[in-house]
Amino acid sequence: MIGLSISSASRVGCVREQNEDMILVDRHFVRDDEYKTQVALNHEDRYIIAVADGMGGHNRGDVASSDTLHNLQFYYHDIPSGLGASEFNEAIVGWLDGINNFVASKGRADEQFKGMGTTLVGLAYYAGDFYSMNCGDSRLYRFRDGELTQLTTDHSLNNMLGSNKHSSIITNCIGGGCNSSYIDLVKITGDIQSGDCYLLCTDGLTDMVSDKHLTRLLSDGANANQLCEAAIKNGGLDNVSCCVITVK
Protein backbone atom coordinates (compact mmCIF):
# COMPACT_ATOMS: atom_id res chain seq x y z
CA MET A 1 0.00 0.00 0.00
CA ILE A 2 1.26 3.47 -0.90
CA GLY A 3 -0.28 6.78 0.15
CA LEU A 4 -0.38 10.05 -1.76
CA SER A 5 -1.26 13.47 -0.38
CA ILE A 6 -2.23 15.75 -3.28
CA SER A 7 -2.89 19.45 -3.60
CA SER A 8 -3.69 21.07 -6.94
CA ALA A 9 -4.52 24.58 -8.11
CA SER A 10 -5.10 26.35 -11.43
CA ARG A 11 -5.26 30.14 -11.70
CA VAL A 12 -5.74 32.58 -14.57
CA GLY A 13 -2.88 34.88 -13.47
CA CYS A 14 -2.66 38.65 -13.87
CA VAL A 15 -2.59 39.14 -17.65
CA ARG A 16 -4.57 36.49 -19.51
CA GLU A 17 -8.31 36.96 -19.99
CA GLN A 18 -9.11 33.27 -19.56
CA ASN A 19 -7.50 30.20 -18.09
CA GLU A 20 -6.40 27.74 -20.78
CA ASP A 21 -4.76 25.36 -18.26
CA MET A 22 -6.52 22.39 -16.71
CA ILE A 23 -5.58 19.72 -14.16
CA LEU A 24 -6.81 16.15 -13.85
CA VAL A 25 -6.59 14.46 -10.44
CA ASP A 26 -7.81 10.97 -11.36
CA ARG A 27 -11.53 11.73 -11.80
CA HIS A 28 -11.56 15.37 -10.71
CA PHE A 29 -10.93 18.32 -13.06
CA VAL A 30 -9.50 21.61 -11.81
CA ARG A 31 -9.58 25.04 -13.51
CA ASP A 32 -9.84 28.38 -11.69
CA ASP A 33 -10.01 26.42 -8.46
CA GLU A 34 -8.00 24.29 -6.05
CA TYR A 35 -8.48 20.69 -4.97
CA LYS A 36 -6.91 18.55 -2.26
CA THR A 37 -7.19 14.84 -1.58
CA GLN A 38 -5.42 11.87 -0.02
CA VAL A 39 -5.44 8.39 -1.52
CA ALA A 40 -4.16 4.93 -0.59
CA LEU A 41 -3.22 2.72 -3.54
CA ASN A 42 -2.65 -1.00 -3.74
CA HIS A 43 -1.13 -3.03 -6.57
CA GLU A 44 -4.42 -3.44 -8.43
CA ASP A 45 -5.36 0.26 -8.35
CA ARG A 46 -4.70 2.79 -11.08
CA TYR A 47 -4.45 6.54 -10.66
CA ILE A 48 -3.62 9.40 -13.01
CA ILE A 49 -2.61 13.00 -12.27
CA ALA A 50 -1.96 15.31 -15.21
CA VAL A 51 -1.53 18.99 -16.04
CA ALA A 52 -2.34 20.43 -19.47
CA ASP A 53 -1.35 23.89 -20.70
CA GLY A 54 -3.57 25.03 -23.57
CA MET A 55 -1.26 26.65 -26.06
CA GLY A 56 -1.07 30.43 -25.78
CA GLY A 57 -1.33 32.27 -29.10
CA HIS A 58 -3.62 29.63 -30.59
CA ASN A 59 -7.39 29.59 -30.76
CA ARG A 60 -9.22 27.90 -27.92
CA GLY A 61 -6.36 26.40 -25.97
CA ASP A 62 -8.87 25.98 -23.16
CA VAL A 63 -10.80 23.53 -25.33
CA ALA A 64 -7.66 21.60 -26.29
CA SER A 65 -6.57 21.11 -22.67
CA SER A 66 -10.10 20.18 -21.56
CA ASP A 67 -10.67 17.73 -24.43
CA THR A 68 -7.29 16.12 -23.82
CA LEU A 69 -7.76 15.58 -20.09
CA HIS A 70 -11.36 14.39 -20.35
CA ASN A 71 -10.30 11.94 -23.04
CA LEU A 72 -7.31 10.79 -20.96
CA GLN A 73 -9.48 10.25 -17.88
CA PHE A 74 -11.87 8.01 -19.81
CA TYR A 75 -9.16 6.15 -21.72
CA TYR A 76 -6.87 5.57 -18.75
CA HIS A 77 -9.52 3.88 -16.65
CA ASP A 78 -10.52 1.75 -19.63
CA ILE A 79 -7.02 0.31 -20.20
CA PRO A 80 -7.08 -3.46 -19.64
CA SER A 81 -5.59 -4.75 -16.40
CA GLY A 82 -2.46 -6.89 -16.30
CA LEU A 83 -0.44 -5.19 -19.03
CA GLY A 84 3.34 -5.32 -18.84
CA ALA A 85 5.44 -2.15 -19.06
CA SER A 86 5.90 -2.36 -22.84
CA GLU A 87 2.20 -3.04 -23.41
CA PHE A 88 1.26 -0.16 -21.12
CA ASN A 89 3.62 2.06 -23.12
CA GLU A 90 1.91 0.98 -26.35
CA ALA A 91 -1.48 1.81 -24.85
CA ILE A 92 -0.39 5.34 -23.91
CA VAL A 93 1.22 5.92 -27.32
CA GLY A 94 -2.01 4.72 -28.93
CA TRP A 95 -3.95 7.20 -26.80
CA LEU A 96 -1.63 10.03 -27.86
CA ASP A 97 -2.11 9.26 -31.54
CA GLY A 98 -5.87 9.21 -31.06
CA ILE A 99 -6.17 12.46 -29.10
CA ASN A 100 -3.74 14.26 -31.40
CA ASN A 101 -5.87 13.28 -34.40
CA PHE A 102 -9.04 14.29 -32.55
CA VAL A 103 -7.76 17.76 -31.63
CA ALA A 104 -6.40 18.29 -35.15
CA SER A 105 -9.62 17.15 -36.83
CA LYS A 106 -11.67 19.47 -34.62
CA GLY A 107 -9.55 22.32 -35.91
CA ARG A 108 -10.07 21.28 -39.52
CA ALA A 109 -13.84 21.04 -39.04
CA ASP A 110 -14.34 24.40 -37.31
CA GLU A 111 -12.29 27.55 -37.89
CA GLN A 112 -12.57 28.66 -34.25
CA PHE A 113 -10.55 25.58 -33.19
CA LYS A 114 -7.92 25.80 -35.93
CA GLY A 115 -4.39 25.38 -34.59
CA MET A 116 -5.39 24.81 -30.95
CA GLY A 117 -3.10 22.58 -28.93
CA THR A 118 -1.89 21.68 -25.46
CA THR A 119 1.05 20.31 -23.55
CA LEU A 120 0.65 17.40 -21.13
CA VAL A 121 2.69 16.30 -18.12
CA GLY A 122 1.58 13.58 -15.77
CA LEU A 123 2.26 11.02 -13.09
CA ALA A 124 0.53 7.68 -13.65
CA TYR A 125 0.14 4.69 -11.34
CA TYR A 126 -0.64 1.34 -12.96
CA ALA A 127 -0.13 -2.27 -11.81
CA GLY A 128 2.04 -1.19 -8.89
CA ASP A 129 4.32 1.04 -10.96
CA PHE A 130 4.68 4.79 -11.32
CA TYR A 131 5.32 6.40 -14.71
CA SER A 132 6.17 9.96 -15.68
CA MET A 133 4.48 11.28 -18.83
CA ASN A 134 5.52 14.30 -20.86
CA CYS A 135 4.54 15.95 -24.14
CA GLY A 136 5.65 19.59 -24.39
CA ASP A 137 7.32 21.94 -21.92
CA SER A 138 5.24 21.54 -18.77
CA ARG A 139 7.35 19.85 -16.11
CA LEU A 140 7.62 17.15 -13.46
CA TYR A 141 10.01 17.79 -10.57
CA ARG A 142 11.06 15.67 -7.61
CA PHE A 143 11.79 17.38 -4.30
CA ARG A 144 13.85 15.20 -1.96
CA ASP A 145 16.07 16.08 1.02
CA GLY A 146 15.94 19.78 0.17
CA GLU A 147 16.94 19.28 -3.47
CA LEU A 148 14.70 20.01 -6.47
CA THR A 149 15.33 17.90 -9.59
CA GLN A 150 13.57 18.21 -12.94
CA LEU A 151 12.62 14.71 -14.13
CA THR A 152 11.16 15.59 -17.53
CA THR A 153 12.89 17.10 -20.55
CA ASP A 154 11.35 20.21 -22.14
CA HIS A 155 10.29 19.67 -25.74
CA SER A 156 11.22 23.22 -26.65
CA LEU A 157 13.40 25.16 -29.04
CA ASN A 158 15.31 26.53 -26.07
CA ASN A 159 16.24 23.04 -24.95
CA MET A 160 17.08 21.94 -28.48
CA LEU A 161 19.40 24.90 -29.14
CA GLY A 162 20.71 25.34 -25.61
CA SER A 163 19.64 28.99 -25.43
CA ASN A 164 17.04 31.17 -23.74
CA LYS A 165 15.95 33.16 -26.79
CA HIS A 166 12.83 31.18 -27.72
CA SER A 167 10.96 30.83 -24.45
CA SER A 168 7.50 30.47 -26.02
CA ILE A 169 8.35 28.01 -28.81
CA ILE A 170 7.73 24.32 -28.19
CA THR A 171 8.69 21.49 -30.53
CA ASN A 172 6.11 18.90 -29.44
CA CYS A 173 2.50 19.07 -28.26
CA ILE A 174 -0.96 17.60 -28.69
CA GLY A 175 -2.66 19.29 -31.64
CA GLY A 176 -1.23 22.68 -32.52
CA GLY A 177 -0.18 21.49 -35.96
CA CYS A 178 2.07 18.69 -34.64
CA ASN A 179 1.52 15.76 -37.01
CA SER A 180 4.04 13.51 -35.26
CA SER A 181 3.53 14.14 -31.55
CA TYR A 182 5.41 11.90 -29.14
CA ILE A 183 5.28 11.26 -25.42
CA ASP A 184 8.10 10.49 -23.00
CA LEU A 185 6.85 7.68 -20.77
CA VAL A 186 9.36 6.62 -18.10
CA LYS A 187 8.88 4.07 -15.30
CA ILE A 188 10.15 5.71 -12.11
CA THR A 189 8.92 3.23 -9.49
CA GLY A 190 12.40 2.19 -8.35
CA ASP A 191 13.36 5.77 -7.56
CA ILE A 192 10.33 6.68 -5.45
CA GLN A 193 10.89 6.97 -1.70
CA SER A 194 8.62 7.71 1.22
CA GLY A 195 8.69 11.44 1.90
CA ASP A 196 9.35 12.38 -1.72
CA CYS A 197 7.41 15.34 -3.06
CA TYR A 198 6.57 15.55 -6.78
CA LEU A 199 5.60 18.77 -8.54
CA LEU A 200 3.67 18.87 -11.82
CA CYS A 201 3.42 22.35 -13.30
CA THR A 202 2.95 24.55 -16.34
CA ASP A 203 5.50 27.14 -17.45
CA GLY A 204 3.28 29.78 -15.88
CA LEU A 205 4.90 28.68 -12.61
CA THR A 206 8.49 28.05 -13.70
CA ASP A 207 8.72 31.26 -15.78
CA MET A 208 7.68 33.29 -12.75
CA VAL A 209 9.31 31.40 -9.86
CA SER A 210 12.94 30.26 -9.97
CA ASP A 211 14.01 26.76 -8.97
CA LYS A 212 15.73 28.29 -5.97
CA HIS A 213 12.51 29.99 -4.86
CA LEU A 214 10.51 26.80 -5.52
CA THR A 215 12.97 24.87 -3.37
CA ARG A 216 12.51 27.32 -0.53
CA LEU A 217 8.71 27.21 -0.80
CA LEU A 218 8.58 23.41 -0.88
CA SER A 219 11.00 23.25 2.07
CA ASP A 220 8.47 25.35 3.97
CA GLY A 221 5.67 22.93 3.07
CA ALA A 222 3.90 25.08 0.46
CA ASN A 223 0.86 23.56 -1.22
CA ALA A 224 -0.16 24.01 -4.87
CA ASN A 225 -2.23 27.13 -4.29
CA GLN A 226 0.62 28.80 -2.41
CA LEU A 227 2.97 28.07 -5.33
CA CYS A 228 0.45 29.65 -7.72
CA GLU A 229 0.23 32.67 -5.44
CA ALA A 230 4.02 33.05 -5.61
CA ALA A 231 3.85 33.12 -9.43
CA ILE A 232 1.05 35.69 -9.36
CA LYS A 233 2.94 37.82 -6.86
CA ASN A 234 5.92 37.83 -9.23
CA GLY A 235 3.83 39.11 -12.13
CA GLY A 236 1.52 36.26 -13.16
CA LEU A 237 2.19 36.80 -16.87
CA ASP A 238 0.57 33.50 -17.82
CA ASN A 239 -1.98 31.05 -16.49
CA VAL A 240 -0.41 29.08 -13.65
CA SER A 241 -1.27 25.52 -12.61
CA CYS A 242 0.44 22.90 -10.50
CA CYS A 243 0.05 19.78 -8.38
CA VAL A 244 2.08 18.91 -5.30
CA ILE A 245 2.12 15.18 -4.56
CA THR A 246 3.71 13.82 -1.38
CA VAL A 247 4.46 10.12 -1.08
CA LYS A 248 3.69 8.50 2.28
CA gap 103, 107 in Å, rounded: 7
53 touches 204 (CB < 8 A)? yes
Q: Structure pTM? A: 0.95
Segment holding 64, helix H or strand E: helix 61-76
Please give the average per-residue pLDDT across 117-143, as a whole number: 97
**Predicted confidence (pLDDT) per residue in 155-165, tens digit:** 988 776 765 65
DSSP per position, 191-243: G--TT-EEEEE-HHHHTTS-HHHHHHHHHTT--HHHHHHHHHHTT--S-EEEE
- Tell me: the pLDDT tens digits for 23-77? 999 999 999 999 999 999 999 999 999 999 998 555 699 999 999 999 999 999 9
Residue 55 contacts residue 104 (beta carbons within 8 Å)? no
For residue 126, which of 85, 94, 90 has the smallest C-alpha distance? 85
The whole-number pLDDT of residue 158 equals 78
Which of 142-151, 164-173, 194-203 is predicted least confidently? 164-173
